[in-house]
Chain A
Amino acid sequence: NAGVTQTPKFRILKIGQSMTLQCTQDMNHNYMYWYRQDPGMGLKLIYYSVGAGITDKGEVPNGYNVSRSTTEDFPLRLELAAPSQTSVYFCASSYYLAGGPEQYFGPGTRLTVT
């Protein structure tokens, strides 16, 4: 049981390039999330998904896109990378229950845009 895995661990992009951050969970969680963490700050929600085929915007969605074709995978797409997207990106997952448990986080991807 690997939990939540993210690839790559590190990436450097040039301005205007695009890339996809991969996230996979093997816990059969229906909820998945993408957060970004800027230096010295807490995490902010980019997008989330309540199940395959269903996604919704979080607090800071501009410049990103997501898709959820399977329960396990929730990739985050950056189009036309900008220096403001330099950050650490975390994927997380959880069950949906009325009294559901906490979110489980992946190890993060450090992205630098220059």
Chain B
Amino acid sequence: AQTVTQSQPEMSVQEAETVTLSCTYDTSESDYYLFWYKQPPSRQMILVIRQEAYKQQNATENRFSVNFQKAAKSFSLKISDSQLGDAAMYFCAYRGRSQGAQKLVFGQGTRLTINP
């Protein structure tokens, strides 16, 4: 079974600085998706960024980028120019790509605090 591990329960960063959240995963599949979701106090799950395992290029979305290391099974999220609105729980998630394997496996989450 696939597992996702986030080893940082909490992180904090000064506003406008850069922070990196870590995620590792375990799978025997060769093709899959990885995601970072943001959960603000409203509880809504918001997709931040997605990476397809077959793509070597790291995904970027504005101030958010990932460092995807397939051999090391590592998928970290970098947030540049941190803003107060980035404060939230961040979850790393895995999804296999084979037929029927549509389920998401989540990590435990990292609570990110932004200091003004």
Report A's interface with B, CB cutoff 8 A.
31, 33, 35, 40-45, 48, 50, 58, 88, 90, 92, 94, 96, 98-100, 102-103, 105, 107-108, 110
Contact = CB atoms under 8 A, between A and B. Distances in A.
Contacts, number: 51
B107 A42 contact: yes
Instruction: Kindly list the 5 A-B residue pairs having the minimum CB-CB distance in the complex, ordered from nearest.
Output: A42-B106, A105-B45, A108-B43, A43-B106, A102-B47
Helix, strand, loop or mixed for chain B's interface? loop
A43 B89 CA distance: 12
Given A42-B109, A88-B43, A58 B102 contact: no
Given A99-B97, A102-B47, A105-B44, A48 B106 contact: no
Nearest to B107: A42
Instruction: Bin chain B's interface residue count.
Output: 20 to 34
Given A44-B106, A45-B103, A90 B45 contact: yes
Contact of B104 (A43, A96, A108): A43
B52 A99 contact: yes
B97 A48 contact: no
Contacts of A40: 108-109
Contact of A33 (B42, B100, B103): B103
